[in-house]
Each structure stands twice: as C-alpha cells, then as structure tokens.
Amino acid sequence: MTVLLVALTSCDNLATELADPNAHLPPCVEQNCDCGDFVSQDLAQLVLDDYSGDPYNLDGDGNGRACERLPQTTPELDWETYFSNSPHLALGNPSHAGPDNIDNYLIDREQYALAYSQSHGVLRWASWVLNRDWVGNTERQNNFRPDGILPKGTYQVVPGDYTNSGYDRGHMVPSADRTASERDNSSTFLMTNILPQTADNNRGPWKELESYCRDLIYQQDKTLYIIGGVYGQRQPIAQDRLIPPSRTWKVVVIFDGEPTVDQVSYSTETIAVDMPNDTGLDERWQTYQTSIDRIELATGYDLLSEVPEAVQTELEARRSNY
C-alpha cells in the first residue's frame, strides 16, 4: 500500500507543520466510525487495533475481529486505465474506471467524467473542471432522468427510486457549476450524477463547500479541478437497487491558470474533506477537513495519479487547513 508509505516518509518536510496523528487511519475516526464506513475488513481492523475498548463498537462478538461481514480486501478494480483527452481526467482516473466493468464504469462526458457502480446504483466518483467558462445565466433545469448512456440491458435508476426514501436527490457535479448552457446544466440531472444524500449533508457543509468553490472562481478568478466521491454503505433503498453511501468526500485542486499536471507544484493549494452521509452534521465544511492520503486509504483509489510522484506525495500528506 503506497498510501501507508506516503504517511510515514513525508514527516520531515512541510507536512510536519500540519502533521496528522491519524494519518494512518480513515477519516471516520474523527466523527464516529461504524462498519458501514469501511470498504474492507482490513481497514476496520486497523481502527479496532488502534482504539482500545472498541469505542466504535466494531467488534460485536468480542473476538478481536472487526466488522467480520466485510470483504477482507478491497474488491479488485480494473487494471488498465482508459485513455481519454478529457480535461476532467487530466489529473488521473482514480479507480481506473473504463468501459468494461459495470461496477466501475466510466462515463466520459463533455461536462464531467464519472465512475458509476451498477451494483450500488450510485457513482463512485466524478471529476470536473470549474472556472468562469462553465458558469453563466442558465436556469436550473430540474430534469432529473435516467441515464441512457449505460450499456443496454442495465437497470437505469429513475427519479422515483428516491421517492419516500428519506434521502435527497443530491448532485455530485452541482447544477450551479454548469450554467453556461441548457445542455450543460441538463447533464447534471442525469441520475448517474445523483446520490442518495441526507438533507443534513447535502444542505449543510456539503453545500457550503460548493458555494466556497464558486466564490473562488467568481471572486478570485481561480480554476478548480474537483474530484468528489462516496464510499461505505447504509441500508439499501428502492427494493435494494440503491445502496446509499455512508460517507461523501471531495478534493479540490486550486489553479491560477490551466488545470493541467504541468501546473501542479509543491505550493499548489488543495482542499480535502470527508463527511458522514448522516444526520447531525456541523454546518461548517471546514470541520470535515482531512488529507488526500486518508481519502485514498478509505476508498482504495489513487487520486492525482498523473501528478509526478514526489509532488503527489507532498500534497497528499498535508492536512487540508482552511
């Protein structure tokens, strides 16, 4: 696991200042972990072993093994990275999504890139460039609809699958980030870009961070490269067709010019958050800051994989500090 190496080897540089004592643990330990917050048994075990007395109740039967019903390792994702010229994939394809695996299915649109999981009925992650070119005066289209881009014969989530579920139809790529044309805005209402999101998350700190990002482009003329995603599981909805995630996360890379790999340096500013998809959240998005390393640990993805290794190591170890 390169993720663990990163945490151990970057202690003597700039990261020291923002050193994160929990760098080797997933972000849920700062709120409240439960078995649904882990992608594998190994990761839950790491947390159980670190906290004596099992404060998160991960070991129901007291045998010293955490969350035994979880798979022992993260499910294998596709090895080959699909080639794309998309500006929304310039910094990498975090899960090696492509056209062959319906549980890690790459949707490569003009407006964003997204990896979809058919077995969850929910995306894994989406990435998109945000700057003034992408925003205008188009009204919110509100045309939630099934995504016909999925391979023939696969179930397409419909807006009604969310009805009476207790969850919002939450956007990953926000409607307000795509307002230059009706076509662009409509693309955000495809159900593959929608996740079952609690009201407290969607209308709370999640929304606050979305607004903060748009402030950066409107007020400071920044260009952002945003990767947002989910992990973990809550009780299925819609006759088990949808598995709401237990966590939502976002990484924002802030640019003054073109959002390309060449423009990423040791001094590039980044934001990283990971928050529970639950009730009772803090209104401030800053409360949920973490490091990119910890999001990689929790998800099993490689974020910013196209960025040179040394720079990646440095940026990913830093704890987001806004």
For helices 2-9 and 309-317, the axis angle rounded to 10 degrees is 70
243 forms part of the interface with Mn ion (CB under 5 A)? no
Q: Count residues contacting Mn ion (CB under 5 A)?
A: 7
The first and second tokens of residue 33, run together, are 């972990």
Distance CA 254, CA 89 (A): 15
Does residue 198 touch Mn ion according to CB under 5 A? no
Beta-strand relationship, 168-171 and 194-197:
antiparallel
DSSP state letter for 25: S
Which one, 120 or 169, has the nearer CB to Mn ion? 169
Contact between 185 and Mn ion by CB under 5 A: the answer reads: no
- Active-site residue, from 88, 96, 120, 171: 171
CA distance 213 to 211: 5
255 forms beta bridges with 223
Compare residues 161 and 314 and give the one whose CB is closer to Mn ion. Answer: 314
One character per residue 261-280, x = contact with Mn ion (rule: CB under 5 A): --------------------
Q: Tokens representing 113?
A: 């890139």
**To the nearest whole angstrom, how small is the minimum distance from the Cβ of residue 248 to Mn ion?**
10
Give 233 or 312: the residue with its C-beta nearer to Mn ion. Answer: 312
Q: Which of 187, 192, 202, 270 binds Mn ion (CB under 5 A)?
A: 202
Stretch touching Mn ion by CB under 5 A, among 21-29, 64-72, 136-144, 306-314: 306-314
CB atoms near residue 203 (< 10 Å): 15
Distance CA 101, CA 105 (A): 6
The H-assigned helical ranges of the chain are 2-9, 41-50, 182-187, 199-202, 205-220, 292-299, 309-317
Contact predicate 20/40, CB 8 Å = no
Q: Taking the complex as a whole, how short is the minimal distance between the CB of residue 264 and Mn ion, in angstroms?
A: 12
Q: Applying CB under 5 A, which part among 231-239, 256-264, 278-286, 294-302 lies near Mn ion? A: 294-302
Give the residue, chosen from 58, 89, 106, 303, that forms a contact with Mn ion under the rule CB under 5 A: 303
Provide the strand spans (E) within the chain. Answer: 105-108, 113-117, 122-130, 168-171, 194-197, 223-231, 247-255, 269-276
Does 24 participate in catalysis according to the annotation? Answer: no
Whichever of 108 and 302 has its CB closer to Mn ion, that residue is 302
Query: If binding is defined by CB under 5 A, does position 108 make contact with Mn ion?
Result: no
CB of 173 to Mn ion, least distance (A): 10
Member of 27, 36, 98, 170 binding Mn ion (CB under 5 A): 170
Report which DSSP code applies to 232: -
Ordered strands of the 247-255 beta sheet: 105-108, 113-117, 122-130, 223-231, 247-255, 269-276
Give the shortest CB-172-to-Mn ion separation in angstroms: 8
Q: Which is nearer to Mn ion, 170 or 196 (CB)?
A: 170
Residue 302 binding Mn ion, by CB under 5 A: yes
3-state secondary structure 49-83: HHCCCCCCCCCCCCCCCCCCCCCCCCCCCCCCCCC
CB closer to Mn ion, 67 vs 90: 90
Interacting span for Mn ion (CB under 5 A) from 144-152, 154-162, 230-238, 307-315:
307-315
Residue among 237 and 297 whose Cβ is closer to Mn ion: 297
**Among all residues, which ones are annotated catalytic?**
171
Query: Under the rule (CB under 5 A), what is the footprint of Mn ion?
Result: 170-171, 202, 302-304, 312
